[in-house]
A and B are shown apart, each in its own frame.
Chain A
Amino acid sequence: MPTTSLDPRINRMALATDVTPSEKPPLDQFGTWEVFVQARDNKPPEHAGIVHAPDAEMAFLFAKEQYSRRGRGCVGLAVVPTDAVWVSAYVEGDQNAYDALPPAGPAAGASEAYVVFHLQKRGKQHQFAGMVEAADPPAAAHAARKTLGAEVPLNVWIAPAAAMHASDEEDRDFWTTLPEKKYRDATAYKTTDKLKAFQARQGG
Chain B
Amino acid sequence: MYGGGTIFETMSVQDDPASAEYQEQLAAFEARIGRGEKIEPRDWMPELYRKQLIRMIEQHAHSELIGALPEGTWITRAPGFKRKLALMAKVQDEVGHAQLLYGAAETLGKPREAMLDDLINGRSKYSNIFNYPAFTWADSTVISWLVDAGAIVNQLANARGSYGPYCRALERICAEESFHLKYGHDAVVTLATGTPKQRQMVQEALHRWWPPLMHFFGPPDRMSVHTETLMRWKVKMASNDDCRQQFLDMYVPKIWELGLTLPDPLLRKDAETGKWHYTEPDWAEFKRVINGDGPCNAERLAVRRTAEERGAWVRQALKRPEAAYVQPLA
Query: Taking the complex as formed, is A195 at the interface, i.e. its CB lies under 8 A from any CB of chain B?
Result: yes
Contact B40 A185 (CB under 8 A): no
* The one of B90, B92, B181, B192 that contacts A69, using a Cβ cutoff of 8 Å: B92
* In the bound complex, CA of A122 to CA of B29 (Å): 14
CB distance from B302 to the nearest CB of A (A): 4
Contact B120 A21 (CB under 8 A): yes
* In the bound complex, CA of A34 to CA of B329 (Å): 8
Query: Taking the complex as formed, is B167 at the interface, i.e. its CB lies under 8 A from any CB of chain A?
Result: yes
- Pick the interface stretch among A46-54, A102-110, A133-141: A46-54
For residue A9, which residues in chain B have a CB less than 8 angstroms away from its CB?
A: 73, 76
Query: Taking the complex as formed, is A101 at the interface, i.e. its CB lies under 8 A from any CB of chain B?
Result: no
Contact A3 B113 (CB under 8 A): no
* In the bound complex, CA of A88 to CA of B103 (Å): 21
Whether A15 contacts B190 in the complex (CB less than 8 A), given A157-B329, A185-B179, A191-B185, comes out as no
Chain B, 156-177, CB within 8 A of any chain A CB: 164, 167-169, 172, 175-176
* The one of A21, A23, A191 that contacts B182, using a Cβ cutoff of 8 Å: A191
Whether A32 contacts B298 in the complex (CB less than 8 A), given A195-B193, A195-B257, comes out as no
Q: What is the total number of residues of chain A having a CB less than 8 Å from a CB of chain B?
A: 62
Contact B103 A50 (CB under 8 A): yes
Contact bitstring A155-191, B, C-beta under 8 A = 1, else 0: 1010000000000000000000000010111100101
Query: Taking the complex as formed, is B320 at the interface, i.e. its CB lies under 8 A from any CB of chain A?
Result: yes
Whether A15 contacts B302 in the complex (CB less than 8 A), given A123-B38, A186-B178, comes out as yes
For residue B229, which residues in chain A have a CB less than 8 angstroms away from its CB?
A: none
- Pick the interface stretch among B93-101, B262-270, B276-284: B93-101
For residue A199, which residues in chain B have a CB less than 8 angstroms away from its CB?
A: 257
For residue B258, which residues in chain A have a CB less than 8 angstroms away from its CB?
A: 195, 198
Contact B37 A123 (CB under 8 A): yes
Query: Taking the complex as formed, is B220 at the interface, i.e. its CB lies under 8 A from any CB of chain A?
Result: no
Residue of chain A at shortest CB distance from B139? A6
Contact B326 A184 (CB under 8 A): no
Contact B305 A186 (CB under 8 A): no
Contact A123 B328 (CB under 8 A): no
For residue A126, which residues in chain B have a CB less than 8 angstroms away from its CB?
A: 330
* In the bound complex, CA of A12 to CA of B93 (Å): 26
Residue of chain A at shortest CB distance from B322? A31
For residue A16, which residues in chain B have a CB less than 8 angstroms away from its CB?
A: 302
* Consensus secondary structure, chain B interface: helix
Query: Taking the complex as formed, is B231 at the interface, i.e. its CB lies under 8 A from any CB of chain A?
Result: no
* In the bound complex, CA of A135 to CA of B177 (Å): 45
Contact A19 B168 (CB under 8 A): no
Contact B38 A29 (CB under 8 A): no
Contact B164 A71 (CB under 8 A): no
Contact A32 B328 (CB under 8 A): yes
Chain B, 242-262, CB within 8 A of any chain A CB: 257-259
CB distance from A2 to the nearest CB of B (A): 9
Query: Taking the complex as formed, is B293 at the interface, i.e. its CB lies under 8 A from any CB of chain A?
Result: no
* In the bound complex, CA of A85 to CA of B329 (Å): 9
Residue of chain B at shortest CB distance from A49? B103
CB distance from A147 to the nearest CB of B (A): 23
Residue of chain B at shortest CB distance from A71? B175
Contact B318 A58 (CB under 8 A): yes
For residue A49, which residues in chain B have a CB less than 8 angstroms away from its CB?
A: 100, 103, 168-169, 172, 328
Query: Taking the complex as formed, is A150 at the interface, i.e. its CB lies under 8 A from any CB of chain B?
Result: no
* In the bound complex, CA of A52 to CA of B98 (Å): 13
- Pick the interface stretch among B18-26, B81-89, B206-214: B81-89
Contact B190 A3 (CB under 8 A): no
Contact B164 A5 (CB under 8 A): no
Query: Taking the complex as formed, is B225 at the interface, i.e. its CB lies under 8 A from any CB of chain A?
Result: no
* In the bound complex, CA of A6 to CA of B306 (Å): 18
Contact A30 B306 (CB under 8 A): no
Contact A30 B299 (CB under 8 A): no
**Would you give 25 A-B contacts (Cβ < 8 Å), ordered by A?**
A5-B299, A6-B133, A6-B135, A15-B299, A17-B299, A27-B325, A29-B325, A30-B318, A32-B325, A32-B328, A55-B320, A58-B318, A66-B99, A70-B93, A71-B172, A81-B326, A90-B40, A122-B164, A123-B167, A125-B168, A184-B86, A189-B183, A191-B189, A194-B193, A195-B193
Q: Which 8 A-B pairs have the closest CB atoms?
A: A123-B38, A198-B193, A184-B89, A186-B182, A54-B318, A32-B326, A15-B302, A27-B325
- On B, residues with C-beta under 8 Å from A are 37-40, 42-43, 73, 76, 82, 85-86, 89-90, 92-93, 96, 99-100, 103, 106, 111-114, 117, 120-122, 133-135, 164, 167-169, 172, 175-176, 178-179, 181-183, 185-186, 189-190, 192-193, 257-259, 298-299, 301-303, 305-306, 315, 318-320, 323-330
